Amino acid sequence: MNKKHALIGVLSLSLFFSMFKKDSSDNSGTTTTTSNWTLSAKEQAIKDYMDMYVGSAVTSFSWNGNIANCVQGTLSQDVLDKTLLRIKYFRKLAGLPIDKITMEADLNAKCQRNALMIKANGRLSHTPPNTWKCYTEDGYLAANKGNISFGMSDVKTLMGGWKMQEVIT
């Protein structure tokens, strides 16, 4: 191992161990050593990125719908959970509350109806005509009020195709 690699290793370990600081105060104002660990704002941001952004990646999923029979299908609970986690990540990053954000099954079903309409017709529209294959009023409402995308099939689609680099710059 050359000196450059040794220095990088030491710096990496130093950065790792410096991420954690002991909470050394109590309510009396005196300094004590406790077993509680706290993170700085930067360290918390890194942790949130790893836990919430990277942790919400969907590597693959299957759709159980059917275009020929106009069956909208569903997404797995894992995909829904990871999508919710990604939404919470961006909300937290923006300083918005995340504790009461939930997925609504009825709204998800409407969005699935819209996705079926888009897939069946190979077109995007926020105002799809009632002549579209697999048209439903619920699908129309979701198209009219939602973000729509065609050709992507992961949590990035559900988040509007964002990439972390786009958020930072």
The Cα diameter of the chain in Å comes to: 73
The residue assigned the tokens 């939930």 is 102
Q: What pLDDT is stored for residue 166 in this prediction? A: 37
Name the percent of the chain lying above pLDDT 90: 44
Summarised one tens digit per residue, pLDDT across range 89-109 is 999 999 999 998 888 899 989
Mean residue pLDDT across the chain: 74
What's the pLDDT band for 36 if we cut at 50, 70, 90?
low
* pTM metric for this prediction: 0.61
Higher-pLDDT residue of 76 and 28 is 76
Amino acid at 79: V
Q: What pLDDT is stored for residue 25 in this prediction? A: 42
Integer-rounded Cα Rg, in Å, for the chain is 23
DSSP states along 35-84? S-EE--HHHHHHHHIIIIIGGG---------BTTTTB-----HHHHHHHH
What's the pLDDT band for 153 if we cut at 50, 70, 90?
low
- Which of the listed ranges 12-16, 37-41, 58-62, 63-67 does the model predict with the highest average pLDDT? 63-67
Residue 83 in this model has a pLDDT that exceeds 50:
yes
What's the pLDDT band for 149 if we cut at 50, 70, 90?
confident
Residue 31 in this model has a pLDDT that exceeds 80:
no
Cβ pair 48, 89 in contact under 8 A: yes
Q: What is the mean pLDDT of residues 118-147?
A: 94
Q: What is the mean pLDDT of residues 6-11?
A: 34
